[in-house]
C-alpha cells in the first residue's frame, strides 16, 4: 500500500496572473491558505497584470 497521495487527489488553485491551475506542494504545507500565485514570476507580475 502506498501512503502517498496521488497527484490528482491534491488540492488545486488557479493562479490569478497566468490563470493556470497549480497543485499543492509540500513546501506550502503550513501556508497553503495564503498561497495565491503559482510562481515567483507570477507574484512579481501581479501589479503589472492589474494595470492592463
Supply the pLDDT for residue 49: 55
Supply the pLDDT for residue 41: 93
Supply the pLDDT for residue 2: 61
Under-70 pLDDT residues of the chain = 1-2, 48-52
12 near 21, Cβ under 8 Å?
yes
Cβ burial of 9 (10 Å; 0-12, 13-18, 19+) is: exposed
User: What is the SS3 assignment for 34?
Assistant: helix
- Listed in order, strand segments (DSSP E) in the chain are 12-14, 21-23
Amino acid at each position: 500500500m502506498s501512503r502517498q497521495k496521488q497527484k490528482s487527489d491534491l488540492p488545486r488553485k488557479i493562479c490569478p496572473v497566468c490563470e493556470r491551475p497549480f497543485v499543492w506542494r509540500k513546501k506550502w504545507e503550513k501556508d497553503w491558505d495564503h498561497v495565491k500565485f503559482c510562481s515567483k514570476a507570477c507574484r512579481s507580475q501581479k501589479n503589472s497584470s492589474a494595470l492592463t
